[in-house]
Structure 1
Amino acid sequence: MCHARRVTSEPVHPVDPTGADLAALARVVARQRAELERLRDLSATSAVVERAKGVLMAVTGCTPEAAHEELASCARDGNRTLLEQCWLTLGALLPPKERPSAAPPPDEAPAAGPRQAAPTGTADLAKTLGRIGRDLVRVGTPQELARCLLDHLAPETEADAVLLYERLPEGGLELIGHAGIDRTLAAQWRYVPPVTGVAALDALRSGRPQWLEDIPVRTDRFLLLGESPGRWPSRAWLPLPDGGSAGAALGVLRRGGGAFALRERELLQAVAPLAAGRLRAFDTDREPAGDGVAQAAQAVLDALPGAALLLTPLRTASGEVEDYRIDAVTPEAVDGFGRKGRELAGRRILESYPFIAGEPLWHGCLEALETGLPFESAPFVHQDPVGETLVTATYSVRAAPLGDGLLVTWVRHDRVERQEQRLADVQRLGKLGWANWNLVTGEVSWSEQTYAVLGRRPAQPPLGLLRLPDLALPEDTGPLAHAIAELVRHARPCDVPFRIGTDEGTRHLRLVAEAVTAPDGSPVEVHGFVQDLTPQRSAELALVESERAMLLQRGILQAERALAARLQHALLPLPSKPVRRAGLRIEVAYLPAQSGIHVGGDWFSAIELPDDDALFVVGDVAGHGVDAVATMAQLRFTAKGMVTTGSSLTGALDRLNYLLLHSRDGQITATMVLARYNPDRQVLTWAQAGHLPPLLVRDGEARYLDRPGGILLGASAAPVYESAELRLEPGDRLLLFTDGLVERPGESLEAGLDRLAEAVRVQGSGESGSLDALLTTMIADERRDDVCVLDIRMPVDDVADAHV
C-alpha cells in the first residue's frame, strides 16, 4: 500500500492465504454481511422516514403523528411503499438549489457527496493528489496538516492561507490548525459561536462547499474572517467528510480575487477526504472493528503469514468509493506510520496509507471491486520508515474481491536481488569486475563486468589465475606473473597494474586480489577484482604532456625576459639621482610592467644639445618583449640624432613615422612627445604624436597643455605634425609621462588624468614633492603596463648644479 514507481525487475506474486482458509472466511463473511445488510436497510429506511417527517413538519407545522399519517395516506393513495413516498416527498419539498436535478448557483459547487468532488481522472490531478498523499504521511498534528496543505495548494490554487475548524458539541467551531495567518488573528478567531452567516458553519450544515468569490457582495450575507474583509477577496470553505456528516471544515483563502477554476474546485474537493482521514488519525478514540464479520475475519487472518488486509469500501450517497475501512489484518502488516497488526483494525486506508490517493494501486482496487477479478500491481518502490531513517524497498500488491470487500495482500521483493543489482551497478560505474579462483577445485567465477574489463566475450570460459598474465602485454607479463605467484604461494595480497591489447587500443588495468587460507596457512581460494584505469591513465599522460609543454614555454619566456631586460638596461640607463639639463632639474622614473615579460617599449631621453638647449623625449612603443625593445632603441637614438643634427621637432616626427611605416612590415605603432628647451628665452617648444599631453603645475594649479596636432607614429602615410611653445617660469613643474601612470582596470582615461592632476597639485611645484611619493600615490595595484615619467622643474633661484 505504497506510492508506486515502476522498476524493471519481474513481478513477484504475493503469498495468498490457502484456498480452504479463504473459502471458510468467505462463508462466514457472507452470512454475517447478509444479516448486517438487513439491519442497515431497516436503519436506512427509518432514517429516510424520519427525515421526510421532519421536512413535512417544518413546512406545514403539523405534529409528528400527523406527519406520519399524511405520508402513509399518500402512499396508499398512490399505491406506493412508505419508503417510496418518503423519497418523493423529500424531492418535492427540498428547495430548488438542493434538489439533485437543479443547477447549482454560480457561487456554489453542485450538491454532491465528497467523492463526487474526487479527482476527474485526468493524469495531472491524480499526480497532484499522489504528491499530497505522500507528504501527509509525515503529518502528526492538525497544525502540521494545515501547513502541508498550504504548501501544496499554494502553487495549484494560488492559496495564501489554510484554516481547519472542528465542530464543537454545542454547534460552534474551534480553530484546530492554520497556516498563512498570524497568531493574533488566529487567537481572535479561535472560537466561532453557532451563529448564522458563517460560511464554515454553512458548509458543515449543508454538506456542500461554499465558494465566496465576490467578497464585496458577500459582506451582507456572511460574517467574514479578519478585520479587513478585502484582505482575502476569494475564499472557499469545504466540509471534511466523516461517515454520514462532516465534523470539520477546510478553509482556503486567497489574496487574489476571481472565481475558482473548475480544476481548482475539483482538486480542493478531492483533497477534503484526505484531510478528513488525517484528522481522524489524530483522534485517540478509534472506531473499533467489533462487528461479527470483522471478528470472524480477524480470527482467520491472525493465523495467516505475510501481510494482508480485509477492506470494506466506504461509499458516498451516489455509490462512489471514497475510502476503505480496515476490518481485519494479519500480524505482519505494517502501515506507513509504523503501526502493525491489530493496531490498524478500524482505521481508514487514506489514514494509514494516504500516499496511495490517485495512484495506480487505488484505481486497481476500484477495478477489482467493479469487475470481480483480482488485481495485481507491477513491482513498485516505497520508502519504509526504519527508526529515524527511510529504507527503500520494492513491493508487489494483489487485491482480490471477497464478498463486498477486498482482501489485499503484499510482499516485499527479495533483498538478495536488490543487493545483486546494486553490486552490478557499482561494477559498471566503477569499470571493475570481481573474480573468484578456487585453488583446490580449480573452479573460476567471473562477474559479467570482468569479461568487459578484460576484453573477452561472455561465451569464452573464464581464465585461471595463473593464465591471467597471458593477456598482458609482453613488457607487463613478468611483473604480473610474479605478483600472482607470490599471492598463490605465500598468500601475499597484490595490487599490480598491467596493460592488455584490444581492438580499441591499449587498455590500462589493475588487479587487486587477496587469498583465503586454510588453518595451516596455505592459500585455498583467491578473490579480488580487475579495474579499467584507461581513462584515468590517459588523463595522467595528457597532464604530464601539458606540464612538459608549460615548462618548455616558461623557459623560453624566462630567456626572452632576461635578454630583453639586459638589452633595455644597456639601451636605457637610469640616472641614480636628479640631474641638471640647461638649468632645469630633471628626475626620471621607469617601472616595467609586473605581468608578462617585464620589459617594454616605454623610453625617455633628457640630453643637452650642442647649442646648450635641452632635448626631452618620452615615448611608448605598442607591445612588450624583444621586438618592442628593439623598436624603442631605434626610435630613441634616431630621434636624438635627427634633433642633434638640426632637424625640427615636427620634421623629426615626420621622418620617424616614415621609419615605422617601412620597417617590420608596418605592424608597429608608437606615441611620442618631443620637447626642446631654450634656456636663454626660457621657452619650451614641443610636439607630439598621439601622446598624452604634459602636465604643468604653476602657482598651486595643475593643468594639461593643449596638444598641437599629430597622430601616433606608424598609423598614416601622410600625417601632419604641429608644434607649440610654453614659457617656463621659476617654480614651474612639468611632467612628461606614458599612459601606464594613469591607467587602471575599470577606470576611464579621463578619470586617471584627473587623479594625476590632483595628486600633483597636492604635492606642489618647485623643489617640493618627490617623484617616488607621486608614483606611490598613483600606482597602488599591479602594473599591467610600463610607466615612464620625466619630472622637469624650473628652479626658483639661479643657482645651477654641475651638469651630469
Structure 2
Amino acid sequence: MARVLARTCVDAVQAVGGFAGGIYLRSGVEGLLLLAVVSGLPGRLFRPWWRMQVNRPYPVAEAFRSGQSVHLPDAEVAMRRFPQLMAGLPFPFGSFYEPVMAGPERFGVLFVLRPATPGVPVDAADRELLRSAADGLAGELAALTGAGEAVSWTGDPVGVPPPDTAQGAREAVERLALALLSVDRGGRIRYVNRAAAALLGMDAPELRGRMLWQAVPWLGQPAYEDHFRGAFMSGEPVRFPARLGRQPDAGWVAVELYPGPDGVTVTIGTAEPPGCAPETGAPSRAGPGSPADRASALYRPVALAIALTEAVTARQVSAVVTQELLPAFGGRQLAIYLLNERHLHLAWETGFPQGFLDRFDGVGLDVRLPGVETLTSGRPMFFESMEHLAKAYPGIPLDAHVGARAFLPLIASGRPVGSCILGFDAPRGFSPEERTVLTALAGLIAQALERAQRYDTEAALARGLQAALLPHRLPVRGNVETVGRYLPGTQGMDVGGDWYDVVETGDGLLALVIGDVQGHGVAAAATMGQLRSAVRAFTLGGSAPEQVVAGTNRLLIGLDPGQFASCCYVLLDPVSGRARAVRAGHPQPLLRHADGRAEVLDLPGGVVLGIDPAATYPVTDLRLAPGSVLALYTDGLVEQAGEDIDLGVERLRAALAAARPAPLTETADRLIGGAGDSADRPDDIALLLASRTGGRGAAQT
C-alpha cells in the first residue's frame, strides 16, 4: 500500500507544478487521520501536523468531513478560511486538498503544496488533475479493501525521497571560504563543500546522505525550525543567526537558506551575537534576533491560543499544551500544578520519571520550591541547566535529566491558578524573545485552565444531577427480569439526556421506557429529569401508551427548553407477555426470540418530542414469549461517525442473537462492552433489557 500512496503523491505533485505533497489516511482511532506519506518536505519539521482530528478547523479535516475539494491559492485565502493553519505555518504558499473516496467509503485526503498565486484561482485543468489522482488512488485502495487488506495507517509518515539532482563541476564552490551545503527537499544532505566540512568537523562523505538536523544537531533546535519551514514552503530566502552549538557560551553564525524546486542551499558564515551593534558589540535598539525570530515569536501565541479555545476540560487544555507548546520549544517534559486551598496539586505530567513528581504533589505555598515561588512572586524562572537549578535551590530533588528548566506562573486576570514546568533534555539558553513568548503563553494557559475548572465544576454538577435522576433500582416482578445500563460520553461535558426507566402501574403492568434528550450538560440532564417524571406521572395516572407519549410531547413544548427528545415506550403484561409499544423518533427496538433469532422490530412512530403539539403516536401490539428478550437502547450504542446507523443496528442485533439468554446482566454487559472500551465516545449510551422468564424475575441496574 505504501508504494501506491507514494506513487500517487509524487505524480500529483508533478502534475500541478507543486513542490511538496502528501496523503493522510484514516487510522484505527475513530475520527483521527494520520499522515501516511510526504514528499518534498522534511517530515520531522512538520511533526505537529502528523495527526489530524477530523473535527479540527484545518483544510485536511474539512476535505475529509465534507467530501469536497479545498483549494487555497494563497496565504490570504488560507488565513480567511483557516486561521489556525496559517497561525502555525505563516508562509506564502498555495495548497490543495482532495478527499480520497470510493462511493460512501472515505479513505483519507491527498494534498499538494505549490507556490502561491495571489489573486489567481486554481484553474479547471489543475482541479481535474487533482481530482483524477484522488479518484485513481481511491479505486486502488477500494481494491485492496475488497481483497481483505485493511486500508488504514498506524505508524509515522513515510518520506518519499526526491530524485538526486546534484550536478558535477563544483570546483568554484569548493574554492569558497563560506561554508555551503546542499539539502534535498526531504532534508537530506547531498553536497558539502570543504569549508562546511571543516566547520562541522566531519568529512564530506560522512555528511552526505544524512539528514541535516542529525548531522548538524545544533541546527535542529526548535527555535530554528520555523525558518526551515519557511524556506521549504515559501520558496523565499531566509536568514537568521544561530549558535554554533548548544551551549550558552557557544559562538554565533549567520545561516542563510536559499530554496529551489529541488532543495535548499544552506550557507553558514560568521556573525555578531544577535541584538548587538556590529561595530561595538553593544546591545542594539532593534532588540535581539532577526525579523523572522520576532515573527515566529508573534505567531506561536496565536497558534496556541486558537488551539486552547477548542479545549474544554482541564485535561484537554493540558493535552493541547503538550501537543502545541512542547514541540515549539523542543521541550520533553511538562508538569502542570493547580492551586487549591493554598496548596499546589499535580494535574498533568508527561516525560518525567514515573513517580518523581509525587513528592511535590500537595505542597503548600510556604515551601521554597521554584514551582511555588514562580506563582507567589508572579515571575517566570529560567535555569539553563540542572546544575544552575541545584545551585539556586540546594538540596532540591533532581531527576536523571541534565537539561534546562523553565518555571512559569499560571495567573489569569490577576488570580493565581497554578504553575507550569517545562523540562529540556539538554542545557540551553533562553533568549529574551523566548522568555517573553513563554510568559505570554503561560497567561493564555492560565486563562484556559481557569475556564476549564469552571467547566469541570459544571460537569460534576451535571453528572451528579443525572446520577440522581436515573433509577438506582428497577422494580422486581414475577415473569419478567429487567436490566439497565448507562454510559456517559467521553467528550465534552460527559453527560447528556439519555435515560431509561421501569414503572409499575396499579393494575400489575410494567412500563418500559427509554429516551434521549438532544444535547449535553446540565440543561439536557435537567430536561431529562422533567421528561422522566412526566412519563411516570402519566403512566401512574392510567393513561394509555399513546396518551403517555403525546402528553409528554405537549409538556416538553410547554416547558420550551429549546430542546427535543426521542422516546420508546412499551407497556408490558408480565403474565401474558402481551405488550403495546409507542415510538417517538427513537431507534427501533430489538427482540431476541427463545430460539436465538434476533430481529429489528418495525414499529411505526411519530415525530420526536418537542416539535409538534398536535403530533399523534401509533400503537403496535407485541407479544414477548417466555425466553425472549426485548432490547431498548439509545443511538449512542449504534452510531459511529461517517457510518450509516443501520450498520450499527445490525451489529447490535447480531450481538444480541449471539449472546447467552441468561444471565441477563451478562447479556447487557456484552452488548454495551465494546462501546465502554472507547476512549473517544461522543454520545451517551442507555440500554434497557427485559426478558420473559416464565417465573419469578429479578431486576437489576
State if a TM-score over 0.5 links the two structures.
no
**Structure 1-normalised TM-score?**
0.35
**Structure 2-normalised TM-score?**
0.40
- Give the greater-gyration-radius structure (CA): 1
